[in-house]
């Protein structure tokens, strides 16, 4: 197991007054992050997911662990494979809040079999990138409004991965095939995953460039035995194991990097950059695709056209 330097009280200040949204907050790293953040007393944490029963279990667990916390934890149903659902989730929050301080784009899938979202996109790209992009774009006006308030520090935290290196070498993102299952690569599940995680990094960089009042960070959470690994085939589990050899983290360590990203001092982070556990600026680990400004702009423009009808 790796040794990581993280202390919740030291690294995350008191969050009272802040409103936080965590996608995929009903299980895995999302639920663990919510549990830690609740100990720092934000006013409200919204968690999204598909399962209200799982959300109830997370909320009840927080009440048991942090009985003195004043934080309200609320559930918003959201299926990121369905753009209509992502739109409704954003509008639900917009109707109830006058501020949003942190948007943690945590939900995701990894190395899944070939498939399409409800809207016809390759399922990993549609879930990990497009669904989140729509949610972010719908909530950007509220994030910007909050950033204009005195003393605020508004953040978008994109859960990326070092798995971005598995994206297709020639193109990085194969735009003209994103409405197919892309079931033609040798390591198909991982290349499709890498493509979606590359998109997370590029989108974070472009958000940072276009919206400088908001601190946007791309975060690699590390290798943790969460439910993401549960549905993998034996071969894909082997690929995951080899790729993270010597880098395994405990379940306790799993959420540390993304929680660190909520509280890291603004003058100690660079908006748009990529961070590995815990708080290590890993820009020098990015390849030519991840640093390609032209590709980032192309992704932004392509995404805007795809989600235009839902904004």
In the three-class reduction of DSSP (H, G, I as helix; E, B as strand; rest coil), residue 105 is classed as strand
CB-based contacts of 3, cutoff 8 Å, min separation 6: none
Q: Does the bond joining 145 to the residue before it have cis omega, within 30 degrees of 0?
A: no
Q: Is 145 a catalytic residue?
A: no
Catalytic site residue from 39, 87, 138, 197: 197
User: Which ranges of the chain does DSSP label H, i.e. alpha helix?
Assistant: 8-11, 28-38, 52-65, 83-94, 123-125, 132-147, 188-210, 234-243, 256-263, 293-307
List the structure tokens of 5.
Answer: 């330097």
CA dist., res. 83 & res. 298, Å (int): 21
> How open is the CA angle 36-38-39, to the nearest 5 degrees?
70
Residues 187 and 241 sit within 8 Å (Cβ to Cβ):
no
Catalytic site residue from 46, 121, 193, 211: 193
Q: Is 193 a catalytic residue?
A: yes
What CA–CA distances, in Å, run from 149 to 99, 142, 213, 257?
9, 11, 11, 27
> Could you give the dihedral angle defined by the CA atoms of residues 217, 72, 146 and 103, in that order, rounded to the nearest 10 degrees?
20
Q: How many CA atoms lie within 13 A of 60 on its CB side?
A: 6
The residues annotated as belonging to the active site are 193, 197
């Amino acid at each position: 197991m790796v040794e990581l330097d993280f202390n919740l009280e030291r690294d995350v200040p008191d969050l009272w007054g802040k409103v936080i949204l965590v996608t995929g907050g009903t299980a895995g790293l999302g639920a663990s992050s919510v549990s830690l953040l609740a100990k720092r007393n934000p006013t409200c944490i919204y968690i999204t997911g598909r399962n209200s029963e799982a959300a109830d279990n997370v909320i009840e667990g927080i009440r048991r662990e942090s009985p003195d916390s004043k934080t309200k934890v609320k559930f918003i149903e959201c299926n990121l494979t369905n753009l209509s659902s992502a739109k409704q989730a954003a509008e639900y929050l917009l109707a109830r809040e006058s501020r949003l301080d942190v948007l943690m784009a945590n939900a995701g899938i990894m190395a899944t079999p070939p498939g399409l979202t409800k809207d016809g996109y390759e399922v990993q790209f549609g879930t990990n990138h497009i669904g989140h992009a729509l949610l972010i774009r719908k909530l950007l006006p509220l994030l910007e409004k909050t950033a204009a308030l005195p003393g605020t520090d508004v953040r978008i935290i994109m859960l990326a991965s070092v798995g971005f290196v598995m994206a297709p070498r020639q193109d990085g993102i194969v735009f003209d095939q994103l409405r197919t299952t892309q079931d033609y690569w040798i390591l198909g599940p991982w290349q499709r995953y890498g493509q979606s995680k590359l998109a997370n990094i590029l989108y974070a960089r472009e958000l940072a460039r276009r919206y400088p009042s908001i601190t946007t960070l791309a975060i690699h959470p590390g290798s943790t035995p969460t439910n993401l690994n549960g549905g993998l085939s034996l071969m894909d589990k082997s690929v995951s194991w080899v790729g993270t050899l010597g880098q395994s983290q405990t379940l306790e360590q799993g959420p540390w990097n993304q929680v660190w990203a909520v509280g890291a001092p603004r003058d100690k982070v660079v908006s748009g950059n990529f961070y590995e556990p815990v708080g290590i600026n890993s820009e020098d680990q990015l390849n030519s695709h991840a640093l390609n400004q032209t590709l980032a702009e192309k992704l932004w423009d392509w995404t805007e056209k795809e989600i235009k009808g839902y904004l």
